[in-house]
Structure 1
Amino acid sequence: MTGTTPTETLDAVVLGAGVAGLYQLYQLRKAGYKAKIFEQGGDVGGTWYWNRYPGARFDSEGHIYQYLFDEDLYKGWTWSEKFPAQPEIERWMHYIADRLDLRKDIKFNAKVTAAHYDEDRGRWLVTTSAGDVVDAQFFVSCGGMLSEPLRDLFPNKEKFKGQVVYTSRYPASGIDVKDKRVGVVGIGATGIQVIQTLAPESGHMTVFARTPQYTLPMKNPAIGAAEGAAYKARFGEIKSRIVDTFCGFEHDFDRNWVDLTPEQRHAHMVNLYEDGSLKFWLAGFPEVFTHPECSEAVSEFIIAKMSDRLKHDPHLLDVLVPKFSDYGFGTARVPLERDYLEVYLRDNVTAVSVKHNPIVGFTEKGLQLADGTEHELDVIILATGFDAGSGALSAIDVRGRAGRSLRDEWNKDIRTTYGLGKHGFPNLLTTAVPLAPSAALCNMTTCLQQQTEWITGAIDDLKKEGKTTIEPTQDGEDAWVAHHDGIANATLVVKTDSWYMGSNVPGKPRRLLSYIGGVAVYKDKCNEEAAAGYPSFARA
């Protein structure tokens, strides 16, 4: 982009108008910096703008999936249920943008296509699909950890005469599935939400399932005036609590597997299961991530629950229920669901395993499997996942010192420093990228608030010291990667193929994307880094 004339000069370009981007813009603007968000979508919301598929909702409790920097902002919104659905979440995002008057500094329908660092000037040149060419000191990525969908996994899509839609780009107007043959590909968290919601409306639904999932039932009570007032009264407690737990939720591990008798372990699991939340996973036993005996017992408990709900149907058990010999509970993303398993007991739903008989492509009439079987369909819904963590920035032509490509570097090895920056890319500050809890194992608002606050503090510290650039050193990056891998490799998570390990993306380097040392530990390490004068970063 040498010789390109900028159309705008800023202190900071912020990528994305989701949870992280909105708060990052607010902070930078409040601190006196000239900043602007460039957003691919037509409005605020990030993942909650794009993911409009039927059944999309929180699996974090609404009262903790909020900004906690302003008590009045927090108390000015009341959720209608414990786990709100996408339309309500999107309205909340609009409330935030309007209450903080953020829209005037957001450009919508402007996808960032390239960001190149100019070493001579120490500044970034950022271009967008809308024709913007922005000169900025800082490029702050708030593109999200699940925002770059995997496409074109199956050939010949153009041959299919029916309708094909990705859950990640589901039309806001919805799709009429009444009396239609609907195929859903994928039974991860998104696929589960779609299946349980659309199955009763469909003429017939065929679910193409590859990897069976451990699931937990969701209990989703309505929130009335009294319930809303009760959680708002606990604002201070919630704010201080969630930053010091393992996954940024209000609940946390409070007992160890090794300290309990078999009877106590079982009673604890029953109690956690009845909560109807992710508490069973993220506040059960910490050893579920590290201890094979604990992992097996917890897995078998869930397997038994799922088997009972499926009426012990041999075919459904084979297609939908994991085997501990394949992987243990909690070592991959655990979806919350509402009567999802019961859907398969309906006469209009068929479960098809594609684990050993994969989909080979589209036909004019539907989808064909490796053995030649053709499934005739009218609508195909692809819940095929994302290039997690690294995908948002890898989709952009990001170039640092000497023209080095971030995409090329991450295609070789997934590395960052605290998930906040990358060696060779000065003044690129990042959220929700690999090697931080926000890449998977965190209530997103908890971790994204912490990361954006750290970024604002780092920029402020530069300004106070009369410096203009910050970049992770090679030694700093090496140290963080070693620390991250040391913790990760002591867990059972790295033995499981899932998007947590990047296994869903062909050719993606294998590394646990999320820091698994815990949200509280991560926060403390980031704070220690800043307090010590940023020893893992070169600043000039």
Structure 2
Amino acid sequence: MPVTQDSTAKQSQKVDVLVVGAGFGGMYALHKFREKGLHTVAIEAGDGVGGTWYWNRYPGARCDVMTIDYSYSFSDEIQQEWTWSERFCSQSEILSYANFVAEKLDLLRDIKFGTRASVVEFDDATQRWRIETEQGDIFDAKFCILSTGPLSVPKGVAIPGADSFEGELYLSARWPHHDVELDGKRIGVIGTGSSGVQIVSVVAHQASHLHVFQRTPSFSLPMRNQKLDPEYVAQIKKHYNAIRAVTRMTFSGGTRPASSRPLFSVTVEERNAMLEEAWQTAGHNLLGIFSDLLLNKDANDVVADFVRKKIGETVKDPEVAEKLKPRGEPIFARRPCLDTNYYEVFNQDNVTLVDCLTTPIERITPKGVIVDGKEIELDVIIAATGFDALTGALLSIDIKGREGASLREKWSEGARSYLGMTIHGFPNLFTTAAVNGPSALANFILLNEQNVNWISDLVDHMTAQGHDTVEATEAAEDRWMERIAQLASKSLMPKANTWYTGTNIPGKPRTFPMYAGGLGKYTEDCQIVANNGYEGLTFRGQSATPTVHKARETA
């Protein structure tokens, strides 16, 4: 596709690989392709590495995946040198880890910070990608890897009057990089997803009075966080590689329990004891003690009722407790939250729950928030309003493939790709940990490693065969999307109106675009494609004559 006259006036930097994003996926992609001897550069909108952990600095920010899992596995040297302090680590420690890895691998010299991609355009004449940034940079790349993350575009505050507020208004996903004084202030937290739950658990002990504006209540489970014992850490490090080999083949890519036992295969007494033990040891264990919680609604209802009972036992005011109990959606169909005494704070005299399902926020005023015709005066508003998830970051960039085909148009009715890594009509463009793979359902770091390794092997194959470009065939893309739909149809996850399905964004197509078969099965599917000569992909060489590797009917 011809480039614009304005673009040609700017000098471009020619590279082999351009990586968009310097979170954990982009960092590993930069390292991997540099190791291959390819001239690789990454661009990052933030001023440092870490992705979501660079941006999300709100009070209480903490990973809900155990840190022994939520870390790189490709380097045993890094595994042995770095030591986590807690079972579930804070944002600041995870960001320190990201910086440790970046310095260890000398990544910073090839990352251009404060740089956001605006146009990613394939040039049909040169068979290369032209990447323009909002800052005026232009890159000319053979391969473009988009590691933009599933939760990187905040929704913002779509409430009338937000701009008029005279107090302090903070977006949880864009928290200031300086200290924010909250002690003794009247605070309102809007939103009770994972970020909101974490914020409320901390801010409730700082505010003179806290109003929690809840529209859809979340199921939140006790995190039971703890400091890691040195003997346990030594044990993990001694056996890390063996542990990783197992976790790569699990559903989530982690070490939490994963049972093959259906709920109704045990007695009522047994299951109640198992649920209670999971609740007392670590709430996330509830996800894995039975095999059919996301397949069998009756089994799901049993666990949901158990958690609702726990909420009722914790919150003293029955009316408040009832409002905090999620209903109408399967438990775990919405991303479950992990908390430290979240429900307990609603027993404090300085905490008020505002049920925005029955009394929605009407508008924000200079002094506070109007609900049910009454003004609640506030000094601080914290908006934990969520993200344009999964596709938001990719579609915020003007991406154009062969003959100017627009990704926004292609995905107007929902995201489509092959293996969640390559897209028909967009040659040599790859996405990592993206929408049509396990994405947010899996351990994000291990998934990024798997994707980058698979793409790296594909590039090696192209080099050996003399191919210049590769892209998915339309037929293979269709089959992959059918597979995603088939897996989703067996799960209860699509039943909820969540960011998983896009229903938190007005006008966004309602789909369940993630691979619901688990990280282990997804890895097998990707390996089968590679073992069969990269079936479902079209290659072009110097002659520009396409070579199509047809997918089998069972692929």
Equivalence for 2:276: 270
1: CA distance between counterparts of 2:411 and 2:179? 36
The SS at the match of 2:145 is: strand
Tell me the amino acid that sits aligned with residue 166 of structure 1.
Answer: L
Equivalence for 1:339: 341
- 1:27-66 paired onto structure 2 within 5 Å: 27-66=32-71
Whether contact under 8 Å (1:124, 1:136) holds in the other structure is yes
The SS at the match of 1:288 is: coil
2: CA distance between counterparts of 1:279 and 1:243? 18
Equivalence for 1:199: 204
**1:388 CA displacement:** 0.9
- 1:210-229 paired onto structure 2 within 5 Å: 210-229=215-234
Tell me the amino acid that sits aligned with residue 405 of structure 1.
Answer: S
Equivalence for 1:473: 473
The SS at the match of 2:243 is: helix
Equivalence for 1:358: 360
Q: Which consecutive unaligned segments of at least 5 residues does structure 1 have?
A: none
Equivalence for 2:332: 330
TM-score normalised to structure 1 length: 0.96
Task: Deviation per CA, 1:381-423: give whole Å up to 9, x if none.
Answer: 0000011111111111111122222123323222221111222
Q: Does 1:382 align with 2:380?
A: no
Equivalence for 2:493: 493
Equivalence for 1:399: 400
The SS at the match of 1:287 is: coil
Whether contact under 8 Å (2:484, 2:513) holds in the other structure is no
Equivalence for 2:546: none
**1:318 CA displacement:** 2.9
Tell me the amino acid that sits aligned with residue 259 of structure 1.
Answer: S
The SS at the match of 2:151 is: coil
- Range with greater deviation from structure 2 (261-270 or 487-496): 261-270
The SS at the match of 1:499 is: coil
**How many aligned positions are there?**
534
Equivalence for 2:544: none
Whether contact under 8 Å (1:186, 1:382) holds in the other structure is yes
1: CA distance between counterparts of 2:289 and 2:333? 14
- Name which of 126, 131, 138 aligns with 2:143: 138
Task: Deviation per CA, 1:224-282: give whole Å up to 9, x if none.
Answer: 4323212111212221011110111113224222432222222222222222142211x
**1:431 CA displacement:** 1.2
| Percent of pairs with identical residues | 37
**1:449 CA displacement:** 1.0
The SS at the match of 1:228 is: helix
Task: Deviation per CA, 1:482-534: give whole Å up to 9, x if none.
Answer: 01001101222111111111111111111113211111110000011111112
**1:143 CA displacement:** 0.7
- Range with greater deviation from structure 2 (32-41 or 424-433): 424-433
Q: Does 1:230 align with 2:235?
A: yes
Question: CA 1:360–1:406 in structure 2 vs 1: closer, same or farther (change >3 Å)?
Answer: farther
Task: Deviation per CA, 1:470-493: give whole Å up to 9, x if none.
Answer: 111111111011010011012221
Tell me the amino acid that sits aligned with residue 77 of structure 1.
Answer: W
Q: CA RMSD in A?
A: 1.3
**1:31 CA displacement:** 0.8
Equivalence for 1:294: 299
**1:65 CA displacement:** 0.9
Equivalence for 2:446: 446
1: CA distance between counterparts of 2:530 and 2:362? 51
Whether contact under 8 Å (2:414, 2:513) holds in the other structure is no
Tell me the amino acid that sits aligned with residue 415 of structure 2.
Answer: I
2: CA distance between counterparts of 1:308 and 1:389? 36
Task: Deviation per CA, 1:61-86: give whole Å up to 9, x if none.
Answer: 11111111111111100011111101
- Range with greater deviation from structure 2 (428-437 or 268-277): 268-277
Whether contact under 8 Å (1:209, 1:354) holds in the other structure is yes
Whether contact under 8 Å (1:177, 1:203) holds in the other structure is no
1: CA distance between counterparts of 2:158 and 2:409? 21
Q: Does 1:426 align with 2:427?
A: yes
2: CA distance between counterparts of 1:528 and 1:107? 36
Equivalence for 1:172: 177
Tell me the amino acid that sits aligned with residue 291 of structure 1.
Answer: N
1: CA distance between counterparts of 2:194 and 2:359? 22
2: CA distance between counterparts of 1:210 and 1:319? 10
2: CA distance between counterparts of 1:209 and 1:345? 16
Q: Which consecutive unaligned segments of at least 5 residues does structure 2 have?
A: 541-555
Equivalence for 2:412: 411
Q: Does 1:109 align with 2:114?
A: yes
The SS at the match of 1:104 is: helix
- Range with greater deviation from structure 2 (68-77 or 395-404): 395-404
Equivalence for 2:547: none
2: CA distance between counterparts of 1:460 and 1:384? 42
2: CA distance between counterparts of 1:279 and 1:14? 36
Q: Does 1:314 align with 2:295?
A: no
Whether contact under 8 Å (2:221, 2:279) holds in the other structure is yes
Equivalence for 2:545: none
Over 3 Å off, 4+ runs: none
Task: Deviation per CA, 1:117-176: give whole Å up to 9, x if none.
Answer: 111211110011222100001110111110011124112222111111100000121321
- 1:120-135 paired onto structure 2 within 5 Å: 120-135=125-140
Question: CA 1:417–1:360 in structure 2 vs 1: closer, same or farther (change >3 Å)?
Answer: farther
